[in-house]
Amino acid sequence: MSLPGLDLTQPSADNQFAPAPPTQISLSKGSEWRFEVAFGTVIRAKLLAGTAELFGTELAPSQTYTFSGTKGAIYTWHGCTLEVSAGDTGPAVDGLAPGGMNGAIACGLGAGGCQSEYTAEETPMVEYANVHFALETMRQEAKATGKDGPRVLILGPANAGKTSVAKILTAYATKVERQPIVINLDPNEGMLSVPGTLTATAFRTMIDVEEGWGSSPMSGPSAVPVKLPLVYFYPMQNALEAEGSIYRPIVSRLALSVMGRMAEDEEARETGIIVDTPGILSQGKPGSLETINHIVTEFSITTILVIGSERLYSLMMKNYDNKPTSSASAVASDERITVVKLSKSGGCVDRDAAFMKGVRESQIRTYFFGNPIPSTASAALSLSASSTTNVTLSPHAQQLDFNSLGIYNYTIASLDEDEDDYDPSQFGASDAFLPGGGNDAEIRPTQQQDETSRAMPLPGIVSSIEGATPGTAANVPLKKVSPPAPSTLANSLLAITNAPPTASAVDIRDASIMGFLYVADVDSEKGKIRALAPVGGRVPPRAIVWGKKWPGEVVGLVG
Amino acid sequence: MSSGLASDEVAEDYKNSLEDLTTNDRFQISNLTVIAKENTEHAMAISRVLENHIRTTPPVQKLPALYVVDSIVKNVGTPYTLFLGRNMYQTFMNAYTLVDSQTRRKLDEMLKTWKEPVPGSLDTRPVFPPEITRSIESALIKARTAALQQQQARSQQEVLTRGRVGTPPGWASNSPTPQNPARYPPSTTSTPPMLYHRNGGPGHGFPSADPRSTPTPQLQQQPDVDLSALNRDIEVLITAARSDFANNPLDPSIQQRLKALLDLQGILQRQELTQEQLKLVRDQVSALAPKPAITVPPTLAPVIQAVSTPSMAIPPVQAMSQPLQQLLNPGTLAELIKTTAVRQQPTPPPQAQNILPQVPSSATPQPPVTSNPENPLIAALRARGLLPSASATPTTSATPPSNLASGFPFIVPGQVRYTPPVPTPQAIETSNVQVNVQMNTASIKIPRNVLIATLYESKSNRCGTCGRRFFVTDDGKGKKARHLDWHFRTNQRMAEAAKRAQNRSWYVDERDWIKSREVGDDEGLVETETSGEGTTGSDGGSAKKGPPKQWIRAPNDATLRNTPCPICQEKFESTWSEDVQDWIWQDAVKVGNRVYHASCYAEVTKDGPTPAHRVTPSGRTGTPDSILGKRKAEGADYPGQNVRVKTESG
C-alpha cells in the first residue's frame, strides 16, 4: 500500500533542503539547544565534549543519537559541544570502514535538517532540577520515617511542557537510583503505548533518549532496557468527554493498581509517583476541576506542580495548598499538599494538529513494527554487526471472524461531531437540503438511523449488554458492536482487554489492556476482518474495545 | 429555475462560493449542489469553475471540493456528469497525488461509489461512465504497484529520503540563481514541478494536467534519478577517460579519474545507493560534463587561497549568500565514494579530485584542516562569519584545528573517536550529601550547583555506551561491571535476535504488574543459561548432556509453542523475564527435541529406570519423539541421562 507520499515516512516540506556537513554547536553553561525535526527527516546528534542531557536523560559521549519527528531540547549544566548532522544511511551502507568512518555523513543535512533549531540561554531548568531535589528531600524523609514518597501531579495547559517536566523528574529520579511510578493520564499521547491509553510504569532504568519514553517489552532484547507499563484504554481524545464519566472510573482503577504496587514495592513506595495530565484539565473547561480533584484524591497527591497558568495556580493554591492529602495516613502524619508554580520553558512550542497526528501514527506504528530508525545501539554496534540492529518487529496478520470477537464501542452522542460531514458513501444524507423532484436521488431509509440520539452512522449497533447489570452498566455507554462488521473498523485500533468477552460494561471499561489489534480490512459480507496482532497465535478470547474515534484511523500501516 | 444571469456571472458567483468551502461541511456542499442544480443551463461554466477550483485549491481543501462534484453528479446528474466527466481523470489524479493518505482513502471510497449506480436511483448506470472510473483506477493500481516495488527496493533506506533536486547553482555554472534555491532548484529537468506542492503546501496553482500527473514512481517520496540516463552519462565519461588514458597512460590524474569513474559505475550497478545519493552522483556527473573552467574570484578570502589550488571549484562569491549546504557540495561525492567503497583511497571524479591534490600526504603532520576538502571552505566560512550555528558562539571562532578535525573523524587517521574531557570530578563525596530543598515556589528558584553535582560530578564513572553514571566507589565499580555485562549480553542477543522475527509482547495484567519488580541493568543475571542452578536445587552439573535448565526461552515456532508437556499434557505458560529480556517458560526443560516441565521430568526420571525409559526421548536424533513409549532399549545409550538419574536418586 504505497503511493506517492503514502510511504511509511511522511514527506515533509523540508525534503528539498540540500545536504550539508555536520554542524558543531557549542553550548555555554546552562543553555540549551532546541530543535524540531519533522517526520520523515532524521537528524543525528553527538556529544563531542562536556555534558548534555535531553529532558534529564544524559547523553553518552561520542554516541550518535538519532531523532525524527520530534521537538526537543538538549540542555547542558556544564557546557558542551554537540555535533549535529543529517541522518545518513549509517550501517546500511555497505563497507563502512571499521572505526573512524562512523561519523561520516554520506548525505548530510547539517543542522539545517531541523525544521527549526536555535540555542537558548534562558531555561527553567534550575527550577525543574530544584523540584527534583525537593522531591528527593521528601523521599529521604519517606525512607527514614517509612512514609510514602511524594506523589506529584503536573498540571498545565496543552503545550506547556508537562510531559517534559515529567520526563526530567523521572530521569533525575532514576539517575539517583530511585524508582518512580510514572502515570500518564493524557489520552492524546501514549507513554510506552499508543495514544488513547492511560498507563502506569515504574521507571528504574534510563529513559530512551531517542524514543519518547522508551519501549514496552518485546520478544527480543532492547538496547535500552524496556519498561513494563500497565495499560488502560480510554478511546477518546478529551478526558472530559461525557462529563468525565468514563475517564474518572478508569483513573480510579489505575490509581488502585498503583497503590497496590506501592504497598508491595518498597522502592516504588519510597520514590512515589509522578502524574502527567492532559492539558484540557488546566484550561478552565467545565468539569475539569472535578476531574483534577478526582485525580488528587485517588492518587493522594502531595505535590501539585502548575506550569504556565497563573490562573490555575491561584485556583490550586486556594483549593489545595496546605490541605491534608487524601492518603490514609495523612491525618496521623500531618501530610499536606503543596502547590508550586513552575515557569513554562520558552522552548515550548505549539504542536499543531498535523504534528500530533504524526506523533500518534508513529506511536501506533512503533507499537506494531518497532523503531525503524537506527538507534544508538546500532550506531554502537555497527562495528561488529553491520546489519541493522535497530529493533524491527514483525506483527502477525490474520483473518478473524468478526462474530467470534466481542467488540465493544463507546457510544457518546457528542463524540459524533463530524456527523455533519459530507460522506459520499452515505449518499442521500443531504437530500433534505435539496429541492425535491424529478431527479434520481432518493432518500435511503437506512439514513434514519443517524438521527437517533445515540447516533452511530453505522449499521448494527445494538445495546446488548445493558440488561446484564442494570443500574451501573446502564451508565456506561459501552455497546457491543453486532454484525455486520462495520466498514469503519478498517484502519482503526482494537484494544484487547483482560476482561472476558461476556463481562459487564463496567468490567470491560475498567479492565487493563493486553494489547492492540490493527484492522487492515473489513469484509462485511463474509463477516471477516483482517487484522494485525503484535503477537502470533490466536487472538485471546477477551472483550475488545474499539478505538473508533481515538486514536482514530491510521491509514497505510499495512499494505 | 433559470436565474437569467450570464454564464460568467454565475461562474464567478459559484467560484466565490466554492472558495468559502474550506472544510467538509455537509450544509455548504448541499448549498453548492442546489446552486448547481438551479443553474443547469450554465452547467458547462460551473463545471469549469469546479475543475479549476479543485486544481488550484490547497490540498486540504481538495476533498470538500471533490465532494461537491460527487454531490452534484449524484444529485443532479446530467449534464454535469458529462461536463465533469471529460476531465475527471486529470481532476481526480491531480488531486490524488497532492493530498495526504487519509484523504486518499476518502477519495478511494468516493471513487468506489462512482462505479455504482446512484443509490436509490432507478437508473442502473453507474454515476460516471465506467471508462472514466476505470482509467482512474488502473492508474492508481499502476502507481501502487510501482511504488510498492520501489519501496521494497529501497526499504532499507526509506528514512533517509531527502530530496535534493537539481544541479546546485554555483557549482555547475558561474551564474548562481539564488532565488529560494533550496525549494525551487533552478534546473529540475527530471522532476515534475508538482512535487513541491505535494505535502499540503500553500494554495498556489498547479500545472494543468499533463500525462505525468499519473502517479508513477517518478512521483515517489522524492524525485527519482533516472538510473539508465545516469549510467549512460557515466559510460560517456568513462569512454572519454579511457581515450585520455590511452593517449596519456602515465598521467596519474587520468588514471585516477578513470578508476573513480569505473568505481562509480560499479557502485551504481550494484545498486547500493539511495535515491539521495544517486542524486548527488547525478549532480556530480552532470558537473563533470565539459564546461568552461571555473575561475576563482579574486575576492576570495586569503584563508581559502592558502589551502586551495586555483583550480578548486570555489563557488563565486555571490554564492556565499546561498545556503551553506550548496557551497559544500564539492565534497559530498568524495564522501559518498569514500563511505561506499570499502576503505578505498578516496578517488572522487576530477572536479572533486582537483581539491584533493592539496591533501598533504598523511605523513606530513599538517593541521588536519587541510586534509579535508571541506575544511578550507568551512574555515573560510567561519572566518567570514557565514557559518552561523557554529560561529555564533565565541568558542568556535577560536576553535583549534584539532577540534575542527574531530568534526570530520573519517578523514583524519588515528583520530577515530574524540574523547571529550569528562567534567573533572571535584572529588565531592556526594553520596551522602544531604539534599534538603523546600518544595515551594521561592525555594526552587535558587540555583544549587552543589546539588547538580550529585547528578553529575559525584558519579564520575561513566558507561561509554549509554552515559549512565556510577560512583567511583567499589560498589559503583561493581555496578558498572555488571552494567557493562548487561550491555555486552544485550548486544550479543540483539545480534542474535536480528536473525529471527521479533514482536511486541502483550502487556501484563494488573496482578502481574503489581507483583512485578523492575530489574535494573546493573544487577547481573541471577541465573544464566549456562549455569543451570535453579532455585529448585536441580542437580546435573556433571551431566554430559548439559545441565537441565529450570527455564528455557519460549520457542518462537507456533507448533512448538502449542505442544504440551509430554508427561502431564499441559501447555506451557510464557512469562516475561526481565533478566533475560525475553519470554521464558518457567519450570521447563528441553530434552532432545521435546520440552518437558522440569518438575514432571524430574518426577519421572527419579522413579527408577522404567519410567525413565518410557519417557526419555531420543536426545541425539532429529526425529520428533512421537513414539515415546517404544524406546525402551535406548535407555542405556545415554550416559548423560544415566548420570543424571544416578545423581537424582542418589
Of A415-419, B262-266, B595-599, the range with the lowest mean pLDDT is A415-419
Residues 6+ apart with CB under 8 A from A190: A184, A196, A197, A199, A363
Check whether residue A81 and residue A137 sit in a common domain.
no
- Please indicate, yes or no, if residue A470 is contained in any of the structural domains: no
Using alpha carbons, select from B608, B515, B577 the residue that is nearest to residue B587: B577
Which helix (H) or strand (E) segment holds residue B138: the answer is: helix B130-153
Check whether residue A80 and residue A128 sit in a common domain.
no
Using alpha carbons, select from A73, A66, A84, A81 the residue that is nearest to residue A23: A84
Query: ∠ CA(B283), CA(A103), CA(B480), 5° rounding?
Result: 160
Q: What ipTM does this complex have?
A: 0.82
What pLDDT digit, counting tens, does each position of B508-533 carry? 999 999 988 887 777 654 433 333 33
Check whether residue A115 and residue A204 sit in a common domain.
no
CB A338 within 8 A of CB B440: yes
CATH assignment at residue A67: 2.60.120.1030
What pLDDT digit, counting tens, does each position of B496-513 carry? 887 788 889 999 999 999
User: Residue range A125-142: average pLDDT?
Assistant: 93
Check whether residue A82 and residue A164 sit in a common domain.
no
CATH assignment at residue A548: 2.40.30.330
CATH assignment at residue A293: 3.40.50.300
The answer to the question of whether A344 is labelled as a binding residue is no
In chain A, the number of structural domains is: 3
Residue A11 has pLDDT above 60, yes or no: no
Peptide bond into A4 cis (omega under 30): no
Mutate to test the interface with A, among B389, B450, B579 (most CBs of A within 10 A): B389
- Please indicate, yes or no, if residue A361 is contained in any of the structural domains: no
Residues 6+ apart with CB under 8 A from A252: A294, A298
Query: ∠ CA(B573), CA(B578), CA(B580), 5° rounding?
Result: 80
Centroid of chain to Cα B630: 55
Check whether residue A117 and residue A170 sit in a common domain.
no
Residue B452 has pLDDT above 60, yes or no: yes
Residue pairs spanning A and B at CB distance below 8 A: 542
Q: How confident is the model at residue B353 (pLDDT cuts 50, 70, 90)?
A: very low
Alpha carbons B462 and B420: distance in angstroms, whole number: 12
Which residue shows C-alpha cell 503505548? Answer: A193
Alpha carbons A321 and A316: distance in angstroms, whole number: 7
| B434 DSSP 8-state letter | -
Q: Which of B409, B422, B495 sits opposite A389 (nearest CB)?
A: B495
Cβ contact A100–B329 (<8 Å): no
The pair phi, psi for residue A410, each rounded to 5°, is -80, 130
Q: What is the pLDDT of residue B641?
A: 38
Mutate to test the interface with A, among B177, B459, B506 (most CBs of A within 10 A): B506
- Please indicate, yes or no, if residue A15 is contained in any of the structural domains: no
Evaluated on CA atoms A95, A97, A99, A101, the torsion sign reads negative
What pLDDT digit, counting tens, does each position of A16-42 carry? 444 557 889 999 999 999 999 888 888
Enumerate the residues of chain A whose CB falls inside 8 A of the CB of residue B319: none
The answer to the question of whether A309 is labelled as a binding residue is no
Which helix (H) or strand (E) segment holds residue B358: the answer is: none
Cβ contact A60–B467 (<8 Å): yes
The answer to the question of whether A512 is labelled as a binding residue is no
Task: For the beta carbon of residue B427, count every other beta carbon within 10 angstroms.
Answer: 10
Closest-CA residue of A relative to B514 is A261
Of A418-432, B453-467, B632-646, the range with the lowest mean pLDDT is B632-646
Alpha carbons A501 and A464: distance in angstroms, whole number: 12
Between the CA of residue A344 and those of A124, B439, B479, B560, what are the distances in Å?
7, 17, 37, 55
Residue A394 has pLDDT above 60, yes or no: yes
The pair phi, psi for residue B87, each rounded to 5°, is -105, 20
Q: Are strands A273-276 and A181-184 parallel, antiparallel or unpaired?
A: parallel
Q: What is the pLDDT of residue A302?
A: 93
Which string of DSSP letters, residue by residue, matches B467-496?
--EE-SSHHHHHHHHHHHHHHHHHHHHHHH
- Please indicate, yes or no, if residue A365 is contained in any of the structural domains: no
Most confidently modeled of B134-148, B189-203, B469-483, B599-613?
B469-483
Average pLDDT in chain B: 63
Q: What is the pLDDT of residue A313?
A: 93
Q: How confident is the model at residue A126 (pLDDT cuts 50, 70, 90)?
A: very high
Distance from CA of B69 to the nearest CA of A (A): 10
Check whether residue A220 and residue A276 sit in a common domain.
yes
Residues 6+ apart with CB under 8 A from B246: none
Q: Are strands A303-307 and A338-342 parallel, antiparallel or unpaired?
A: parallel
Q: What is the pLDDT of residue B115?
A: 85
Q: How confident is the model at residue A175 (pLDDT cuts 50, 70, 90)?
A: very high
Which has more confidence, B96 or A375? B96
The answer to the question of whether A446 is labelled as a binding residue is no
Distance from CA of B413 to the nearest CA of A (A): 7
Question: Three-state DSSP class for A311?
Answer: helix
Average pLDDT in chain A: 79
Q: Provide the β-strand partners of residue B589.
A: B596
Q: Which of A26, A42, A206 sits opposite B395 (nearest CB)?
A: A26
Cβ contact B582–A219 (<8 Å): yes
Compute and round to an integer the Cα radius of gyration of chain B. 36
Using alpha carbons, select from A362, A392, A520, A532 the residue that is nearest to residue A9: A362
Distance from CA of B616 to the nearest CA of A (A): 29
Euclidean distance between the first and the last CA atom of chain A, given in angstroms as a whole number: 4
Q: What is the pLDDT of residue A111?
A: 60
CB B426 within 8 A of CB B419: no
Cβ contact A220–B343 (<8 Å): no
The pair phi, psi for residue A39, each rounded to 5°, is -65, 140
**Cell (9 digits) for B269:** 550497478
Euclidean distance between the first and the last CA atom of chain B, given in angstroms as a whole number: 106
The whole-model pTM stands at 0.56
Most confidently modeled of A517-531, B122-136, B578-592?
A517-531
Percentage of chain B with pLDDT > 70? 48
Alpha carbons B315 and B327: distance in angstroms, whole number: 7
- Nearest-10 crossing angle of helices B252-270, B275-288: 150
- Please indicate, yes or no, if residue A439 is contained in any of the structural domains: no
| B440 DSSP 8-state letter | S
Check whether residue A134 and residue A222 sit in a common domain.
yes
Check whether residue A111 and residue A148 sit in a common domain.
no
What pLDDT digit, counting tens, does each position of A497-539 carry? 999 988 888 999 999 999 999 998 888 888 899 999 998 888 8
Cβ contact A217–B34 (<8 Å): no
Which has more confidence, A376 or B587? B587
User: Residue range B575-581: average pLDDT?
Assistant: 70
Check whether residue A317 and residue A265 sit in a common domain.
yes
Q: Which of A7, A172, A376 sits opposite B158 (nearest CB)?
A: A7
Domain range spanning residue A327?
A: 124-342
At the topology level, CATH places domain B1-128 in 1.25.40
User: Residue range A365-378: average pLDDT?
Assistant: 66
Cβ contact A430–B29 (<8 Å): yes
Of A139-143, B12-16, B119-123, the range with the lowest mean pLDDT is B119-123
Q: Which of B143, B448, B507 sits opposite A229 (nearest CB)?
A: B507
Alpha carbons B141 and B138: distance in angstroms, whole number: 5
Q: How confident is the model at residue A440 (pLDDT cuts 50, 70, 90)?
A: very low
Q: How confident is the model at residue A199 (pLDDT cuts 50, 70, 90)?
A: very high
Check whether residue A324 and residue A258 sit in a common domain.
yes
Check whether residue A78 and residue A131 sit in a common domain.
no
The answer to the question of whether A163 is labelled as a binding residue is yes
Alpha carbons B347 and B338: distance in angstroms, whole number: 8
Residue B537 has pLDDT above 90, yes or no: no
The answer to the question of whether A49 is labelled as a binding residue is no
Q: Which of A16, A133, A389 sits opposite B437 (nearest CB)?
A: A133
Q: What is the pLDDT of residue A340?
A: 94
Cβ contact B159–A372 (<8 Å): yes
